[in-house]
Structure 1
Amino acid sequence: MNAHIDESTVAGLKWLVISGERTAAFSLLGEYTLEAITSVQNELPEREGLKSFTRSGVGHRILTDVSAATEQTYPHYAEELRALASGAGLDYRDLLLANLRGDIGVDDGTGCTDLAWRGSRSFVAHNEDGAPALNGHFMFLTLRIDGDMPVTVQWYPGFLPANTIAATGAGLVWGINHIQVTTPIAAPGRHFVARALQQCTDFDHALDYLRTHPSAGGFAYTIGDTTTGRVAIVESAAGRVAARELAPESAFEWHTNHLRFIPDPPDLAPAGTATANLGQREESLGRGKTLDTLDPVLEPNVNWFKRILCGAPVPDGVHRTAAGSDPLQTLCTTVTNLTDKTISINSACGSSTTLRLEDFTHGRS
């Protein structure tokens, strides 16, 4: 097989580095992580609801339209998922449905927070929030696919490696927040749009790409550039896009799981509609309220971001502990210093480390 996997750990989390031809690499990855893929898929709380919703009626129509748009627009990345499923001996359509769960209008919870700063130094910081049952399966994955720029991502086995953080060979780093779109459009799935974003060659290319490549569901991207120090937040949801670049003089911005910049946002349910998304939106707004009180008058450092992201829960920070009615916990916190070109990683187990961003991107521990 024309592919190879190396395994190590970083900050207490598994780190896989896979090299080789695209199809062979993803097939090997599926075989190598079969147990983790099965566990993650079995732990998806919305799994049975997704299957029921898409079996017939409007759900089936949406899934058919989004699947067709995905496979037509992004055949290479659909083939990656197909190879992953084949290597693991699993049904491709089951993995595709899981990957499109945020693109068909089904409530998908809330999770993840991003912070951004641009001043004499620039930072992008990300909390990856997920179900406690995923702790132990969640990992880092470096892709060194023949013909592609290298990229390192946080990865949930069974998903296209695209929906968390990414650091690319072009010197770009971003975090992603889930946006619950109530009425998706017939467009490719957001994971596939985000996967293709990883091959953009510079900051402007990345912003232009998101403006011109719609997704059925929604993501908010907090993107930083190590070459220029530029930072922007881009909301992309159901064909609507809004980008806000931070001013070069001491600018702070944040994003959680609700749209902030798109007028008449498509993450709001129609008036009078009963939906679980209302409660999820309130949770996201609560984190936003905490972040709105922050005033980093002085230039922040890595420890300032860590204190907010993993030092305390709302109202003193946005760390999540799956306590009380909150179903999620913060699985990992990453703070990227775009100026120094380093990334600090803190895992839920309490381990931490700092790496040169170039080493992290290329899979060198």
Structure 2
Amino acid sequence: MLTQLHIAGNAFELGRRLGEFGRQSVHGKLRRLPLWQHLASLADTDKARQMKALVRERYPRYWQEIEGLAAGLELTVDEVFMWNCRGDFPGLVSVDGCTTVFGQAEQGTLIAHNEDGLPQLRGDCAIVHAKPEEGAAFISFVYPGSIPGHTFAVNEFGVVATVNNIRPIDIPVGVPRMILGRASLDARTVDEAIAAISPMPRAGAFHHAFGQAGSARVVSVEATSDGVVVREIEASTGHSNHLVDSSFRDFKQIVTGSSGARQQRVDHLLAGSSRKLDLTLALQILRDEESATLPVYRCAEDDPDDENTLATSIFTLTSSAVEWRVYAHRVTDHPDAQGAVVLIQ
């Protein structure tokens, strides 16, 4: 079962409580990683200083969350900021993968998501129920050492957001992608969520899926330093960890074997199904292990991207509510589903 955190307070307090939760894991596991050490070594570069200035100027509340996170972790703000920029600097590849399936359901829409991260963090992550003094209340999966907004979440306005890692070759100075993801959790509508992740200049790239209770819309958003492409989803579709829109055919990115295989497998499974998405179909796709070496659901110790599926989330969005479920195990009959219904007035 994933730890449940309930946090209320100002931005600094939210970050501090998250830092206290993740302190043992960060000091015992993450700071030993070559990726963490590489990022920490870049903290005093011109690019890092410019990006910190952008966040302090444009997103002071999220900067306060990072300051609180650093206090709770008992680390410097610079070091923690750089870890929250792990997809914004070229070199060692970021390690947050993911697969998303989304589309129309019988009574609304559905967004389902595999959260893939470092295998050693299994059991070290949490679901946070946050009620900030400013901004929207939300429920989100969180990693130790990280601010919310780059995994999967639902907020008090019924906006559901999921995020997939994209791996650009060239990454310019800009607002860190995880800051923009955090901004999307304050959105009152899908359009506000799209606007939140679209400002320029931006550094790293993400894929976002957004939906909202009371709306028939599901959107797929590929957001990069070159631009943002929004697709309104009608037929059920999926997304892994590389850009697929033709607008980005010349965008230089890393497409790993796993990302390519997962995208092809999800496309194949959806093409072979005539029914609308539901809980059963979504779980069938996201738990697929047809490929012994590059499955959709990843739990191999020797995964080539050094990622495992740490949780699977299913969001069913109706006219007045979001029903969410989170599974921490693959086994179909394992009684580990966590979730509830978020009612939208």
Q: Which bin holds the TM-score, normalised by the shorter protein?
A: 0.7 to 0.9
User: CA 1:20 to 1:225, structure 2 compared with 1: closer, same or farther past 3 Å?
Assistant: same
* Equivalent residue number for residue 281 of structure 2: 304
Matched residue SS, 1:19: strand
Q: Which amino acid aligns with 1:328?
A: E
1:243 to partner: Cα distance: 0.6
Q: Does structure 2 retain, via aligned residues, the 8 Å contact 1:63–1:104?
A: no
* Residue number among 318, 321, 328 corresponding to 1:347 in the alignment: 328
Which residue of structure 1 lines up, in the alignment, with residue 299 of structure 2?
321
Question: Alignment partner of 1:293: what SS?
Answer: helix
Give the 3 Å change call, closer, same or farther, for CA 322–336 of structure 1 in structure 2.
same
SS at match of 2:148: coil
Match for 1:161: what amino acid?
Answer: P
Given that residues 242 and 262 in structure 1 are in contact (C-alpha distance below 8 angstroms), is that contact kept between their aligned partners in structure 2? no
Aligned in 2, Cα 1:114/1:284: closer, same or farther, shift over 3 Å? same
> 1:18, 1:142 within 8 Å by CA — same for their partners in 2?
yes
The 5 A counterparts of 1:137-216 are 137-212=124-199, 214-216=201-203
- The secondary structure found in structure 2 opposite 1:284 is helix
Deviations 1:241-266 (A, max 9, x none): 0010113xxx1111111011162457
Deviations 1:295-336 (A, max 9, x none): 221123201111111242537951011244432211100111
Cα deviation code 1:185-222 (max 9, x no counterpart) = 22110111111111111112222333345521011001
1:284 alignment partner in structure 2: 259
Q: 1:334 aligns with which of 313, 318, 331?
A: 313
SS of 1:289 mapped into structure 2: helix
2:84 and 2:96 mapped to 1: Cα distance? 16
1:183 partner letter: D
> 1:335 and 1:317, CA in 2 relative to 1: closer, same or farther beyond 3 A?
farther
Q: Determine the C-alpha separation between the residues in 1 that align with 2:90 and 2:237.
A: 28
CA distance in structure 2 between the partners assigned to 1:202 and 1:83 by the alignment: 28
Distance 2:295 2:285 in 1: 5
| Matched-pair contact (CA < 8 Å) for 1:40–1:137 | no
1:225–1:324 Cα change, 3 Å: same
Identity, % of aligned positions: 25
Kept after mapping to 1: 8 A contact 2:87/2:94:
yes
For 1:121-136, list aligned pairs within 5 A.
Answer: 121-136=108-123
RMSD: 2.4
What does residue range 251-266 of structure 1 map to in structure 2 within 5 Å?
A: 251-261=235-245, 263-264=247-248
Picking from 89, 93, 100, the partner of 2:78 is: 93
**TM-score with structure 1 setting the length:** 0.83
What SS class does the counterpart of residue 175 from structure 1 fall into? strand
Aligned to 2:39: 50
Number of aligned residues: 333
Any gaps of 5 or more consecutive residues in structure 2?
none
Q: Which deviates more, 99-108 or 328-337?
A: 99-108
Tell me if the contact between 2:141 and 2:148 (Cα under 8 Å) persists in the aligned partners: yes
Structure 1: gaps of 5 or more residues: 1-11, 270-276
TM-score using structure 2 length: 0.88
Distance 1:203 1:32, change over 3 A: closer
Deviation string 1:3-51 (CA, Å, 9 cap, x unpaired) is xxxxxxxxx1101010122223332443354223423532544122334
State how far apart, in whole Å, the 1-side matches of 2:290 and 2:224 are: 28
Does structure 1 retain, via aligned residues, the 8 Å contact 2:100–2:239? yes
Name the SS for the 2:191 alignment partner.
helix
**1:255/1:214 Cα in 2 relative to 1: closer, same or farther (>3 Å)?**
farther
| Residue of structure 1 equivalent to 2:5 | 16
